[in-house]
Amino acid sequence: MTLLSLAWRNVLRQRRRTALLSLVVVYVTVAVLFMLGFLDGYGESLVEAYARYVEAPVVVAKEAWWEDPDPTNGFTELPSLGVPYTPRLSLYVLLRSPYRTEGGVALGVDPEGERRLSRVSVKVAEGRWLEGKGEVVLGYRLAERLDVRVGERLVLETGKAALGLRVVGLLRTGVSNVDFAGVYLHLEDAERLAGTGVRATHLAVEAGRGREEATAQALNATLPPGLKAKGVWELMGPIRADYEGSRLFYLPLLGLFMLLAATAVVSTTYVSVRERLREFAVAESLGLTPGRLALQVALEAALASGVGLVLGLLLGYALLYYTATHDVFGPLMRMSVEFFPESGLSEHLYTAVRPVYALYASLVVVLSGLLALLFPGRLVLRLELARYLKGE
């Protein structure tokens, strides 16, 4: 009989206690899975918000513009990058409705280019996306503040020019920055407002999910001097700190949880080994080395926790799948959005579901095995054959 099947048989012999310690492992596994999924979901929602709504997956601009985001530091001629991009022109404007005036940042875009790169264009709640000059699209909260409706004219003014643009659409993206402060107009109108011959302030480049940093790095290697590309993580504002901080805080906690679960497993294994010391003595006298016996003990612990792990994975992934498809955190996120309307938080948060979580959760099994070697294993290693064989 192999060690493994022996160990497995021993585990099955004590159903109740295996079941009990499985409870611990299931609980911890579900907690680990859920926390990882939640954290990753948080990160994903931030990336999604910044890559597809607030900014772009990768943004290329002059170094001077990154320092001072003023149109004077923009491009007077659109460069060729070797990759497709859509140009954008961001500038400060005074928004004047018949009833209210407000300052804000407007973004001149190429309507078609935006359709390909960002999701803002499909989140028009009322009206439609930009199609040509003379039009403007606003975040719906901004439109409320200005008291302006679809079809009405809004005056955008800079020190250089003033334009009356017709509001053709209101956006409801669920991303705070856009809904509370988004102003989108045609690139040529923005050029007129900026004056001074600026064609664009920055260029938005596409990159696949998870490959934003790599794309930015590759670009930086080939860009002419004076230009710099930044990936979405660099473009995030202070909210990134909250995300990283959360990871730093919760991951060690999860590690602790898994350690505690392993302790429970090992406790049980200890008792089980103590009860069977005679058995082990016999086995040893028959030729099995203490090392192998210790290994068997470790395997027993690993298998016992493995049962809990499998169950935990099933439950955990089911839970994750549910929270990944149902907007369970909606109310929490909406409240956060009201508190921090320009942080880039979204109104929804869906957990991520990734197979790699199983790998992290299985750390419990590894820990159990290791601890079992250290404690009950030592019992076996220090076995005084004579004492036990005598039947004491």
Partner 1 sequence: MTVKRTLAFLILALMALVLAQSPLDKLKAALDRLRGPAHQGVYVLTVERPGSTKTYRIKVYTDGNRAHLRVLEPRSEAGQAFLSLGQDLYLYDPRLDRTLRLPPTGRTERFLGSDLTYQDLMGRDLEELFQVAEAQGVLVLTPKPGAATPYGRVEVYLKGDLIERILYYDQRGQAVRELWLEGYQRLDGAYLPRVMELRDLLKEGYRTRVEIQEVRVGPIPERCFNPLALERGC
Partner 2 sequence: MLRLAWRNLLRTPGRSLTTGGVVALVVFLSLVFLSVYAGAFDAFFQCVLDRTGHLVVRVEGYEAKQDLESLTFVPPSLSLPQGARVEGVLEGGGLLLAGERSRAVAFTGFTPEGFARQRGLLKEGRLPEASGEALLGEALAKALKVRLGDEVVAYAPGGLGLGVYAFRVVGLVDLPETHLEARTVLVPLADAQALLAPGRVSRLEIRLSGVGLYEKEPLEALKAALQPHLPGLRVETWLEANPLYAALLPLYDTVMGIYVGIFFVLAGLVLLNALYLSLVERVREFGLLAALGLTGWRLVALVFWESLLLVGVSALVGMGAGLLLHLELVDGFRLPLPAWILEQYKEFGLPEVLYGRLGVKEVLLTLGYAVGVALLAALWPGWLASRLEPVEAMRYVP
Residues that bind partner 2 (CB under 8 A): 16-17, 20-21, 23-24, 27-28, 31, 68, 70, 92, 94, 100-103, 159, 181, 237-238, 240-242, 244-245, 248-249, 256-257, 260-261, 263-264, 267-268, 270-271, 274-276, 335, 338-343
Q: How far is the CB of 155 from partner 1 (least distance, A)?
A: 5
Instruction: Compare residues 168 and 181 and give the one whose CB is closer to partner 2.
Output: 181
Residue indicated by tokens 């439109």: 143
- The strand pairing partners of 92, in sequence order, are 105
Residue 155's binding partner out of partner 2, partner 1, none, with CB under 5 to 8 Å set by partner kind: partner 1
Terminal C-alpha separation, the chain: 28
Q: What is the 3-state secondary structure (H, E, C) of 303-342?
A: HHHHHHHHHHHHHHHHHHHHHHHCCCCHHHHHHHHHHCCC
Report which residue type is found at 81.
Answer: L
Q: In this complex, which beta carbon is closest to partner 2, that of residue 69 or of residue 290?
A: 69
Pairing, β 183-186 against β 101-109: parallel
Q: How far is the CB of 190 from partner 1 (least distance, A)?
A: 13
**Angstrom distance (rounded) from CA 182 to CA 117:** 17
Q: 205: which 2 tokens?
A: 């480049």
Q: 220 vs 263, which CB is nearer to partner 2?
A: 263
Output 157 or 188, the one with its CB closest to partner 2. 157
Q: Which does 257 bind (CB under 5 to 8 A by kind): partner 1, partner 2, none?
A: partner 2
Contact 145, 101 (CB under 8 A): no
Report the partner that residue 63 touches, choosing among partner 2, partner 1, none (CB closer than 5 to 8 A by kind): none
Q: Which does 164 bind (CB under 5 to 8 A by kind): partner 1, partner 2, none?
A: partner 1
Smallest separation (angstroms) from partner 1 to the CB of 67: 25
Is 198:148 a contact under the CB 8 Å cutoff?
no
Minimum distance, C-beta of residue 378 to partner 2, in the bound complex (Å): 11
Q: Which is nearer to partner 1, 105 or 366 (CB)?
A: 105
Rounded to whole angstroms, what are the CA distances from 171 to 146, 156, 352?
A: 14, 18, 26
Residue closer to partner 1 (CB basis): 97 or 336: 97
Rounded CA gap, 228 and 64, in Å? 9
- 116-153 in b/e form (b: 16+ CB < 10 A) is ebbbbbebbeebebbeeebbbbbbbbbbebbebebeee
For helices 15-49 and 290-325, the axis angle rounded to 10 degrees is 50
Q: Which is nearer to partner 2, 11 or 205 (CB)?
A: 11
**Least distance to partner 1, CB of residue 195, Å:** 11
Which chain residues interact with partner 1 by CB under 8 A? Answer: 94, 96-98, 133-134, 152-153, 155-159, 161-165
